[in-house]
Amino acid sequence: MARPPLILITPGIAKSGFEFSDLSVSLAVRYEDAILAAGGIPVIAPVTSNRALLAEAVRRTDGVLFTGGDDINPALYEKNTPKKILKTVEQTPDNGARDSRELALIKEVFRQRKPVLAICRGHQMLNVAFGGKLIVDIASQVPGALPHQQSKRAFELVHEAALTPGSLLAKICGGKTLRMNSTHHQAILEPAKPFVATAVSADGIVEAMELKPGWSARMPYLLGVQFHPERLVQLHAKYRKIFGSFVAACGE
């Protein structure tokens, strides 16, 4: 029996946890459940700014899952965001440490050429890491936008996106469109240089992103999705296939 691949998963930070009032590592169990069901073993990434240790964590694992969570600091990609728009940004409890840590992890993952699956915030962070910008608040900045921040319907399919024929996501899920949940208020403005949008909703929001052909040979697997497939795996096989495809790539 082949060794199950080890999947490094990025956690968030919560203001207080189960023990006392200390800052706590926070990770929705559904990410681990999805990886376990796909045949991988989840490993939580260390909460450290030590780049040598982060590099070693990537080296010892077979792939990295970048998860959802807090807003990314707009100062990392846009210096002139209006104050009115900045008020929509959720303040993080760790003073931007997660942003810095994940930017370092992305750099290391590309250096070591490990498979990547990036969800919601992780999808956005990939873009920021390569100099791309984000829409800080969809409702304020995208005229005629669909209602994307539907947290109360996190387990429902609320809209669809058109898939690029021949893309990785289209091959995994099949069909020309994919329905999805939507619990975000930020999004990718346009893909940074290495990436291309492979799923776009009717209002132009980038719902999935992959590497351009010229870059894809440098990485064994990369898929970024704006939606949350870990909350849909019980609904339909195609969302389970996303994790299955990723874990399979990590095991090769």
DSSP-derived 3-state class of residue 44: strand
Q: Please tell me which residue in 123, 184, 185, 228 is annotated as part of the active site.
A: 228
Amino acid symbol at 158: V
Catalytic annotation present for 120: yes
Q: Which one is catalytic: 120, 184, 185, 207?
A: 120
Closest by CA to 158, choosing from 146, 170, 169, 173, is: 146
153/83 Cα distance (integer angstroms): 29
Per DSSP (E only), the strands in the chain are 6-9, 12-14, 24-26, 41-44, 63-66, 116-119, 134-135, 159-163, 177-180, 187-188, 195-201, 206-211, 222-225
Which structure tokens are listed for 115? 């498979």
Q: Which of 108, 207, 210, 230 is catalytic?
A: 230
Active site residue 123: no
Is 230 annotated in the active site?
yes
Active-site positions read 120, 228, 230
